[in-house]
Amino acid sequence: MLLIDPSKKICFNRCIRDGDLAIVYEKHDTMKAVKVCENSVFQNRFGLFKHSDWIGKSFGSKVFSNKGGFIYLLAPTPELWTLVLSHRTQILYIADISFVIMYMEIVPGCLVLESGTGSGSLTTSLARAVAPTGHVYTFDFHEQRAALAREDFERTGVNTLVTVGVTDIQGEGFPDEFSGSADSVFLDLPQPWLAIPSAGKMLKHDGILCSFSPCIEQVQRSCETLRLNFTDIRTFEILLRTYEVSEWKMDCSKVEDGGSVSPPGKRRRQSSSEGSVRDNPSCPAVMARPSADARGHTGYLTFARLKCIS
């Protein structure tokens, strides 16, 4: 997935190969990750697709099923991966992920500590941000989830940049070997204030800590603990609002019988106020409106910098 190996980067000449991970795009909210295997097939409501048809085509191609249905094959990116991965825990979505990476000032070469790994949604994006010379050490206290996360990182090709450890960070803190060497620490724990002192030891001077908590009480306790050794403490909430777009054809001709009640729908009669008849019978207009479904809350993001004491 990531462009660590320049021979694998997507370009005009790059074709889908046996063993690649592809994202099958059916429609905007229906996508699936599929490993391309020469002898296997992919089946969905549009029909049956042979993987051998896919091999040799570019990413981004439209491919057809036996029934005439089609899908698109996209090259995986961390954003697409977040939308298709299997949820073992609640995950972070693109709005929070992108803000965290920006605010934690993560650039290539950074060393980042994370706990808990969960389903690896944020971890994959962190790996992208630190590539090619940095590293992400992520910890989860649940052994099975850690193993599944390791498998996912191999599938997506970020396993060289991510190391998953099984440790109870809340109870034991981060391993001593990272003392003073982390550029950033991310905490997604039920009781982050227990892990904050340890995180403080891991960070370099002026390093940044971020804690994600759904509840305000957790945020309050975390901030109290942060005030001892950290500065520049800020708490945010970020949400994304999406818009739908459609084209309306508005009739611009005058209505003779003085304003009929028009049925709701795409065609609407509009009486002209000046009383003049326009030449053009219909004026298409593209309208945008916010989507009806919206996310109300994901969590509070608290950022802080380690005080510089020496």
Partner 1 sequence: MSESKPESGPVINPRVTCEGCSVLLDINDGDRLVFARLSAGSTLKIGNKTYSLQPLIGCPFGSLFQVESGKEKPYLSRFVPPTEENNVQDEGGSQLQEESRDNRAIIDNNQAQTLTGEDIDAMRRQGATGNEIVEALIANSATFDKKTQFSQEKYRLKKQKKYAPRVLLRRPFCRSICEAYFKKYPARIGFLRVDALSLLLSMANVTANSDALVVDMVGGLVTGAVAERLGGTGSVCSTYLGGTPYPIEIIRMFNFSDEICKRILRCSFNDLCSVQIETGEQVSQHEDDCTMESQSNEKTSLSIGTEDVHLSSNNGDTDLVPENKLSSSSKTCKAPKAGEKAPKEAIQSWKENGFSSLIIAAPEQDAWGLVKDFLPLLTYSAPFAIYHQYLQPLATCMHNLQLEKMAIGLQISEPWLREYQVLPSRTHPCMQMSGTGGYILSEFQVAQLGDPPPPWVNLSRNKNSDRISNRNFWLIFQWLNPRPCSLSMVSGKYANWDCAFCIG
Question: H helices within 72-215, ranges in order?
Answer: 78-84, 94-103, 121-130, 143-156, 169-172, 196-202
Interaction between residue 69 and partner 1 (CB under 8 A)? yes
Which among 37-45, 114-122, 165-173, 190-198 is the span making contact with partner 1, rule CB under 8 A? 37-45
Give the shortest CB-196-to-partner 1 separation in angstroms. Answer: 14
292: contact with partner 1 by CB under 8 A: no
User: In this chain, which of 17, 35, 62, 278 binds partner 1, going by CB under 8 A?
Assistant: 62
67 binds partner 1 (CB under 8 A): yes
Query: Least distance in Å: CB of 52 to partner 1?
Result: 9
183 labelled binding-site residue: no
Which range binds partner 1 by CB under 8 A, 140-148, 185-193, 225-233, 251-259? 225-233
Q: How far is the CB of 166 from partner 1 (least distance, A)?
A: 21
For tokens 């724990």, the residue is 189
Work out which of 21, 55, 84, 94 binds partner 1, going by CB under 8 A. 94
What CA–CA distance (Å, rounded) separates 110 from 129?
Answer: 8
Count of residues that interact with partner 1, criterion CB under 8 A: 103
Q: Which long-range contacts (CB under 8 A, 24 or more apart) does 213-220 make?
A: 213/299, 213/300, 213/302, 214/297, 214/298, 214/299, 214/300, 216/300, 218/190, 218/191, 218/192, 218/300, 219/300, 219/302
Candidate segments 46-54, 114-122, 147-155, 250-258, binder of partner 1 by CB under 8 A:
46-54
Cα(239)–Cα(298) distance, rounded to whole angstroms? 8
Q: Decide: 164 and 146 in contact? Cβ < 8 Å.
A: yes
119-178 residues near partner 1, rule: CB under 8 A: 125, 128-129, 131-135
Does 105 engage in binding with partner 1 (CB under 8 A)?
yes
The rounded distance, in Å, linking the Cα atoms of 146 and 181 is 23
Structure tokens at 57: 């085509």
Binding site membership for S-adenosyl-L-methionine: which residues?
119-122, 140, 168, 188
